[in-house]
């Protein structure tokens, strides 16, 4: 396994639509392993393949640090509700912005054996799934931000003061 370089906003690879995965080759398996390692090293909640420069529909998410999830070719089946909150992105380091997302999501995706499964998520998991799936279509959360981008460090300070 290896840590891969995380591409940052301004890199054209983050604006492209990703292609579906058709089979799990050794290269794809290595990519998945590296994406998890890169996610944990960066202490992120989610990472999409284009963020490491690969235009494939692969997402890794772990909202607790102990619950790794792999979504290959994810498709949204259902959403409901709304949540407003700050989110950040490993490709936009140090910044956060307020984004409204569904509070519930159900997706159909494939696992590392290309078996399909359904995943339901609420709150942070729903937010993370939506955020990462946007990456697969070349979109960053900054396009959806309400109000200014803020420094994540300032945001954490504010929370501490409250």
Candidates 89, 105, 129, 130; binder of Ni ion (CB under 5 A) is 89
Question: Which residue from 132, 127, 125 is spatially nearest to 101, judged by alpha carbons?
Answer: 127
Q: 132 catalytic, yes or no?
A: yes
Helices (H) and strands (E) in the chain, counts: 3, 8
Nearer to Ni ion among residue 28 and residue 59 (C-beta):
59
Work out how close the CB of 161 gets to Ni ion at its nearest, in angstroms, rounded to a whole number: 27
- Single out the segment in contact with Ni ion by CB under 5 A; choices: 57-65, 82-90, 110-118, 121-129: 82-90
> Is the CB of residue 88 less than 8 Å from the CB of residue 69?
no
| H or E element at residue 98 | strand 92-101
Kindly indicate which of the ranges 2-10, 74-82, 88-96, 101-109 contains the residues binding Ni ion, using the contact rule CB under 5 A: 88-96
Least Å distance between CB 141 and Ni ion?
Answer: 6
By C-alpha distance, which of 81, 124, 88 is closest to 102? 81
Which ranges in the chain belong to alpha helices (H)?
26-41, 123-136, 152-161
6 in contact with Ni ion (CB under 5 A): no
| Residue 33 Cβ vs Ni ion, minimum distance, rounded to whole Å | 20
* Residues contacting Ni ion: total by CB under 5 A: 1
Question: CB nearest Ni ion: which residue?
Answer: 89
Residue 107: helix, strand or coil by DSSP?
Answer: strand
Q: Please state, in angstroms and as integers, the Cα–Cα distance from residue 69 to each residue in 61, 93, 128, following that order.
A: 5, 23, 11
Catalytic residue selected from 37, 112, 118, 132: 132
Tell me which residues touch Ni ion (CB under 5 A).
Answer: 89
Name the residues annotated as catalytic: 132
């Amino acid at each position: 396994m290896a840590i891969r370089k995380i591409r940052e906003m301004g890199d054209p690879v983050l604006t492209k639509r990703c292609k579906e995965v058709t089979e799990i080759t050794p290269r794809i398996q290595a990519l998945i392993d590296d994406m998890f390692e890169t996610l944990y090293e960066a202490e992120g909640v989610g990472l999409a393949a284009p963020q490491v420069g690969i235009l494939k529909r692969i997402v890794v998410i772990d909202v607790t640090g102990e619950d790794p999830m792999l979504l290959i070719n994810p498709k949204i089946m259902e959403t409901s509700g709304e949540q407003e909150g700050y989110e950040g992105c490993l490709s936009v380091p140090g910044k956060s912005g307020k984004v409204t997302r569904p509070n519930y999501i159900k997706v159909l995706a494939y696992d590392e054996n290309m078996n399909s499964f359904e995943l339901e998520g609420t709150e942070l998991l729903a937010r993370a799934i939506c955020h990462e799936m946007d990456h697969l279509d070349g979109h960053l959360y900054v396009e959806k931000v309400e109000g200014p981008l803020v420094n994540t460090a300032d945001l954490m300070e504010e929370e501490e003061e409250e």
